[in-house]
Structure formats: structure tokens, C-alpha cells
Chain A
Amino acid sequence: MIITKKKPFETINESIKPFKRVFIVGCGTCSTVCQTGGEAQAKELAERIGGKCAGYAVVESPCDMRVLRRDLAPKRAEVDSADAIVALCCGAGAQSTADFTGKTIIPGLDTLFIGKIERIGSFYERCRACTDCIILETGGICPYSRCAKGLLNGPCGGQVQGKCEVGGYQRDCAWVLAYNALKKQERLDVFKKYRPPADRSRKPQEIVTR
């Protein structure tokens, strides 16, 4: 899931000042689960904005152009009447909404990470979309997202009793977790294996199947 958090209302209110009418687009998937851009949050924001708000719609998945087209169709008039859109979704959803509507997009949320949800309020980063998943070698622990340094041959000297110095020894050291997991699986040879430098060139990615 894409984990998001709300921008303060004051920030959004300041951002909408130059515009006459705004429309709110929420997200029926990740942001609904995070309680940052679901029906309740879109409605609440619409009420706080008041007269300037042309309406709102919670699109099932605003990162998908086909779904945007389907879910915004019933609200066409309201969307057309607005000169800006407040997007209560992740960066991907916000940019897709911009592409679809052609209007100025005001991000209402900050996108945090791809994560695991334990319960509302407990979110854990689990993936950095590194393009080359190696968790088979690390006992199911992603070092890119869970090691503060993203090391491939950890741990570093900053762990004490399995806790990471970054953030004050609150989080588990990813590499001690990996060691313990591989030990339990009787696969410590995999831990000891040297992992050479990864391709970290990370160019903007587009997949277009023709």
C-alpha cells in the first residue's frame, strides 16, 4: 500500500487562495485505508473549504486513467467548473488526475512510502521499488527500505542489541533481523555471501508494451 499523510488544512487553504473554484479528488484504495483521502476526509475538506468547493469525488484508484475517466464522468460539470483540483491521493494519483483533467493540481497529501499496515496509525516502510528484489537472500527483509543506510552487506557498527542508532535505537536493525531469519532457516551461508554493488542508477521508468 502507498502510505500518505494529510497536509495541514492551513497549507491547503493557502494553496487554494489564487483559485476561484476547486474540486476535490479522493482515492478509494490506499488513501481510504490510510484515512487520508477517503469519503470521510474528502467530505470534511469540502465542508472546511466551503463555498469555493465545486464538489468532490472519491475515485476508486486515481492512479489509473481508465478508472479516473469512469469515476469522474458523473461529476463532469463540477470538475469543469473548477480551475484547480485538490488531490487527496499519492503522487501517482495526483499526477494522473492532472493529466486527465488538465487542471492545476494542489497536492492535499504527502506521499510517505510503500508499506505494511498493521492497523490504522501503524504503518511500516517495506519497499523502495529498487527494481531488483533480493529478499530471498536476506531472510525476507528488504535492506533498501529497512536499513537506514541501505547497505547490502550489513550490519554496520551502528546497531546495539539489534536496534538501529538512526532514530535512537527504536527500530530493529534490518541486518540483524536478516541474520536471525536466515539462521532460523539454516541458510547462514546466504548471509555470509558477498553482495556486489547494485545498479543504483535509477533512471525515470516507463514501461510501454507495444
Chain B
Amino acid sequence: MREAFSRLISEIRSGKFVYTGEIAPGKTTRVETLIESAKALGRHVVACNVTDNPRARANMSSLAASIAVQERAGVEAICQMTARDRNRIALTSDLLGASALGVRNVLVMSGDHPSLGDNPSAMPVYDLDSAQMVELVRRMVDDGTDLAGNRIDGEVRIHVGVTGNPNADPLEVEIAKLERKAQLGAEFIQTQAVFDIEVAERFLEAVDGFGIPVLIGILPCRSSRIAEQIAKNVPGIRVPEEYLGMLRGAEDLNDQASVEERVDLMNEEYFSGMVSELRRTARLAGVHIMGVAYGRIVGRIADGVERKMSCRVR
């Protein structure tokens, strides 16, 4: 087995159930908010994803933000890297920089198409795709060369993860694609948000034979309005009516303070129940908790899962 360079991979290998969070650098030169969010998340997660211009909006670089998060918040980063904006020269270059400055995890993906973003006339690069990015990292780490075989001075110490979408329809194509990435040497999978335990179970069963740890993605929503927007605007995610109904039920109060508490409690119960159930029935390495300005829920869900698991053991 390859050496573990990061806390994320060490803990997964030790059999510990891991939690990861996510922060999204904005179109800003200010890093303080990011650091505060990372510090708050860091109390509950082993590592934190730093997004790479999601929805193709030109924001602060994920690599720069990852380094800031590690150095100033003391939280391990999972630096997301898309193939959208950089050719193989730039990607190799960023991976060298990442390794040199202590970034130990990257999550590779093709990246949302520029036409969906805030600079829609930008050239879509996609010189490599996400599978080829896995090969790039493997060559750099395992062989000490770039894709063209040119030698690298010094070791590259990076783990490479890939994304998967349990909601994908048709799912069989998604699974075939993940099998290809697993064979190439991807080291972990973080998934798109899942709200439905059966969707997660079906996915986990399908990828079980690939021998690659899976972190199921969840996306607790702090209001029914946000959940509805996600259901409407992110077609790759399925938000069940049951979840929406529970959110609306929790919001059905005049007192804003207690609405917030009821929504938090509902999310804590819903997702910690789902995750602990999945831990019981499937092989699951961890959970990736995303959220739209909802950092406070991360600790509650993580604690909720651990509480439920310890009750079960007793």
C-alpha cells in the first residue's frame, strides 16, 4: 500500500469514520471569512474541501485558499481541481506547487462548463478529463514524472480523490466511469449530495467491489427555500418531497429563534439517522457535509451520528 501523506487518508486507513466539510472561496481578496469558516469546521472534520470556481464563477484560486486554510486555520485541505481552466502544463505546475506547500489531498473533476458561469465566453480547456487527471497525479506521485515522462525533482506527496453521483440517471454509466477511475488509482470518492438512503445504499453496493473508500455527500439545508432552489437549479441532485415537507413543518412557527432551532434539530435527526443507518448496512468510509452558509450544522450532525453509533454498540 502507498504511504499515507494526509490525515484524511491515515484516518480512513485506520478504520476511523471520517467527516469532511466544504468551504467555497468567493470573488474576493479577503481571506478572513474563509479562515473563520475553516476554523469552525475544523473542530468537527478531519479535512475540508476547498472548491475550485464552482458553477464556473471566477473566484479566489482553490490552491491559494487551500494553503491559507492549512496555514492560518490549521485545517487540512482537500483542494478541488477542475480540468476546465488549465491545460496539462498548468495542472502539473499547480500540483507541484500544492505538494511543495503541503497540500496533501486533491479532488479532481472536469468542472462545470464555462457557459454556465459568470464569464460565459471563456474558453473551455478540458485538455485532460478527470480520469486523465488521476493518471497525472499517479504518474507524479508513483513514478516521479509528468504525463510526458519528464522527471520531477523531489517527491510529490499528494492523494487523489474523485467525485461520484449516486443520483446519476442512468446510474450504470456513472458506475462504469468510477470503475475506470478506481483502476487508474483514485484513492477516495466523495459524492454529490444524497438525501435518500436508498439512493446512497444502491450506489455504495454498486461501487463496493472497487476497493476504494467512499464518503457520501450530504447537503443539509437551513431553509425550505434553499432546498427548493437546489432541487430546481441542480438537476444532478434529487431532493425528496419527504425532506422538503419536514423542513416546511419545522418552519411552521412565528418565533424565528425557535424556527432555527427546530430546523437544525430536524436536519440533525434526518442526516445523522441516515448516516448512522448507512454505517450499519453498507461499507462507508465517511461523510462529506456540504452546506450553503450552514456551517453550524456540521458539528451537530457529526455528534449526532457518533451518539447514535455508540448507543447501538451498547
Q: Inside 8 A of A157's CB, which chain B residues have their CB? A: 109-110, 163, 165, 168, 192, 236
Assess whether B170 is in contact with A176, with CB atoms less than 8 Å apart. Answer: yes
**Given the known A-B contacts A191-B176, A192-B180, are A153 and B113 also in contact in the complex, defined by CB atoms under 8 Å?**
no
**B170-209: contact bitstring with A at CB < 8 Å (1 yes, 0 no)?**
1011101101100110000000100000000000000000
Q: Inside 8 A of A176's CB, which chain B residues have their CB? A: 170, 173
Please, how many angstroms separate the alpha-carbon atoms of A155 and B176 in the complex? 10
Q: Inside 8 A of B168's CB, which chain A residues have their CB? A: 157, 159
Within the complex, the shortest CB–CB distance from B165 to chain A, in Å, comes to: 5
Instruction: Assign chain A's interface to a size class.
Output: 20 to 34
Assess whether A162 is in contact with B110, with CB atoms less than 8 Å apart. Answer: no
Assess whether A197 is in contact with B235, with CB atoms less than 8 Å apart. Answer: no
Within the complex, the shortest CB–CB distance from B160 to chain A, in Å, comes to: 15
CB-CB nearest in chain B for A193? B180
Within the complex, the shortest CB–CB distance from B7 to chain A, in Å, comes to: 27
Assess whether B132 is in contact with A197, with CB atoms less than 8 Å apart. Answer: yes
**B73-94: contact bitstring with A at CB < 8 Å (1 yes, 0 no)?**
0000000000110011000000
Q: Inside 8 A of B135's CB, which chain A residues have their CB? A: 194, 196-197
Within the complex, the shortest CB–CB distance from A27 to chain B, in Å, comes to: 29
Q: Which of the 9-residue segments A35-43, A47-55, A87-95, A143-151 touches chain B?
A: A143-151
CB-CB nearest in chain B for A166? B113
B119: interface (CB < 8 Å): no
Q: Inside 8 A of B115's CB, which chain A residues have their CB? A: 148, 166-167
Q: Inside 8 A of B110's CB, which chain A residues have their CB? A: 149, 151, 156-157
Please, how many angstroms separate the alpha-carbon atoms of A151 and B236 in the complex? 19
B116: interface (CB < 8 Å): yes
**Given the known A-B contacts A157-B192, A158-B236, A197-B132, are A150 and B126 also in contact in the complex, defined by CB atoms under 8 Å?**
yes
A117: interface (CB < 8 Å): no
**Given the known A-B contacts A166-B113, A176-B170, are A153 and B180 also in contact in the complex, defined by CB atoms under 8 Å?**
yes
Q: Inside 8 A of B169's CB, which chain A residues have their CB? A: 160-161
Q: Inside 8 A of B176's CB, which chain A residues have their CB? A: 179, 188, 191-192
Partner of A197, one of B88, B109, B170, B177: B88
Within the complex, the shortest CB–CB distance from A56 to chain B, in Å, comes to: 35
Assess whether B173 is in contact with A175, with CB atoms less than 8 Å apart. Answer: yes
CB-CB nearest in chain B for A179? B173
Instruction: Assign chain B's interface to a size class.
Output: 35 or more
Please, how many angstroms separate the alpha-carbon atoms of A191 and B163 in the complex? 19
B130: interface (CB < 8 Å): yes
A78: interface (CB < 8 Å): no
A125: interface (CB < 8 Å): no
Q: Inside 8 A of A167's CB, which chain B residues have their CB? A: 115
Q: Inside 8 A of B131's CB, which chain A residues have their CB? A: 152-153, 194-195
Within the complex, the shortest CB–CB distance from B129 to chain A, in Å, comes to: 4
Please, how many angstroms separate the alpha-carbon atoms of A62 and B298 in the complex? 66
Partner of B113, one of A149, A162, A196: A149
Assess whether A196 is in contact with B132, with CB atoms less than 8 Å apart. Answer: yes
A137: interface (CB < 8 Å): no
Partner of A153, one of B109, B116, B129, B235: B129
Q: Inside 8 A of B109's CB, which chain A residues have their CB? A: 156-157
Q: Inside 8 A of A149's CB, which chain B residues have their CB? A: 83-84, 110, 113, 124, 126, 129
B231: interface (CB < 8 Å): no
Interface, chain A (partner B; CB < 8 A)? 148-162, 165-167, 169, 175-176, 179, 188, 191-197, 200
**7 pairs of residues in contact across A and B, judged by CB atoms under 8 Å:** A152-B132, A156-B129, A158-B113, A160-B236, A179-B170, A192-B180, A194-B135
**For the complex of A and B, 6 pairs with smallest distance between CB atoms:** A153-B131, A151-B129, A160-B235, A156-B110, A149-B126, A166-B113
